[in-house]
Amino acid sequence: MHNIYVYILVMTVTVYLIRVLPLTLIRKKIRNRFLRSFLYYVPYVTLAVMSFPAMIDATIHPYSGIIAFIIGLIASYKDLGLFKVTVLCCVTVLLMEYLFAMIR
Amino acid sequence: MNRFKTGLKHAIPIGLGYFAVAFSLGIIASNAGIMAFQGFLTSLLVNASAGENAAFIAIKENASYLQMIMIMLVSNIRYVLMSFALSQKIDPKMSIIHRLILGFFLTDEYFALEIAQDGYVDPVYMYGAISFASPCWAIGTALGIIMGNVLPLNIVSALSVALYGMFMAIFVPACKKDRIITLLVLLSFVCSYLFSRFTSLSESYITILLTIAIASFGALIAPREDEDA
């Protein structure tokens, strides 16, 4: 088993270096086109990979997750913003879980 | 003091969003056997939703420390870009102390506030925003760990999707502006589904592997022009 506080230390140092090094040291733009493009696409790909199918595995009934996922996609597409999208997804799942519990 | 208050006010929706998402993150953390204080400390020090999510899963899977470094690099690599962009938005004369603090609190949401300002970033304004939203993040995580196991199952189920709602609110609007991102996101969904169902790879490995593969694919088929944010 690994020590939780060592994990936290490793996370803190790694993430801090990522955030602070460019801000304090490097003033030039990245020249390499492939690297720049790669860095540009990374956040969206990471978030997408982590969202699906994890979201439909997170709920009691997978259908609640699927419907919340679809509603979340639509709400995000309509630029409702972080807070409203988040609340909408949660409320959808809550309602669906009630519904499934009633059907049973 | 006025600029501090303005920042605080602008951070209210961020703080509320942070709280809900951190709560769901706390549920994930408690599933990994993490105590409330440990989760509080992690959120206070790390300030990263996607990164902490991947990290808690890795802890649950008893990942090595080297693997943890890789996971943090991959899930937070976007901050390298933001940090670059932010370096162009701050006064060249700004002291190193301010830079070190703003770097520590560089999140998607704070970055959005910083970019939205006219001219150079005002550190006092940012400290106002940070002083409200960041405690929401840390306290939300701790409460998620404590209460996640006490709440009724359907409420836990509902809260556990908050994190993914926030992720979607970040990557979906980007799809509208860039068709390549749409393509990569759809490809990510398909590959992620296939890998999770038909391989025995852990979730954190799938994230690293697919991110590197699909982002490289994007960089190969559609390299970016020189000017971008």
Q: What is the pLDDT of residues A22-56, one digit of tens each?
A: 888 866 666 788 988 887 888 789 889 989 999 99
Q: What average pLDDT is seen over chain B?
A: 89
Smallest Cα distance from A67 to chain B, Å = 11
Give B41's contacts in chain A (Cβ within 8 Å).
8
In a domain, A53, yes or no: yes
In a domain, A13, yes or no: no
Q: Which of residues 42-71 of A touch B (CB under 8 A)?
A: 42-55, 57-60, 64-65, 68-69
Kindly indicate the confidence band of residue B228, based on its pLDDT and cuts at 50, 70 and 90.
very low
Taken as a whole, chain A contains a residue count of 104
Q: What is the tens place of the pLDDT at every residue in B129-141?
A: 999 999 999 999 9
Q: In which domain, by residue range, is A63 found?
A: 32-103
In a domain, A61, yes or no: yes
Give A75's contacts in chain B (Cβ within 8 Å).
168-169
Q: What is the ipTM of this complex?
A: 0.87
In a domain, A48, yes or no: yes
- State residue B100's pLDDT score: 94
Structural domains counted in chain A: 1
In a domain, A12, yes or no: no
Within an 8 Å CB–CB cutoff, is residue B183 touching chain A? no
Q: Which two structure tokens, joined as six digits, stand for B112?
A: 């959005």
Q: What is the tens place of the pLDDT at every residue in B76-114?
A: 887 887 787 788 778 888 888 999 999 999 988 888 788
Q: Which of residues 4-33 of A touch B (CB under 8 A)?
A: 4-8, 10-12, 14-16, 18-24, 26-27, 29-30, 33
In a domain, A14, yes or no: no
- State residue A28's pLDDT score: 61
- State residue B42's pLDDT score: 96
Interface test with chain A among B25, B101, B168, B196, by most A beta carbons within 10 Å: B168
Within an 8 Å CB–CB cutoff, is residue B37 touching chain A? no
Given a cut of 80, whether residue B115 has pLDDT beyond it is no
- State residue B229's pLDDT score: 44
CB B162 within 8 A of CB B21: yes
Given a cut of 90, whether residue A96 has pLDDT beyond it is yes
In a domain, A45, yes or no: yes
Closest A-chain CA to B94: A24
Q: Which residue has the higher pLDDT, B35 or A31?
A: B35
- State residue B226's pLDDT score: 64
Smallest Cα distance from A12 to chain B, Å = 5
Q: Which residues contact A43 (CB under 8 A, 6 or more apart)?
A: B77, B78, B81, B170, B171
For B110-123, what is the mean pLDDT? 83
Q: What is the tens place of the pLDDT at every residue in A6-26?
A: 999 999 999 999 999 988 886
Q: Out of A65-69, A80-84, B28-32, pick the least confident.
A: A80-84
Q: Which residue has the higher pLDDT, A29 or B42?
A: B42
Measured between alpha carbons, how far is residue B109 from residues B30, B114, B133, B224 in Å?
25, 9, 10, 24
Q: Which residue has the higher pLDDT, B219 or A82?
A: B219
- State residue B104's pLDDT score: 96
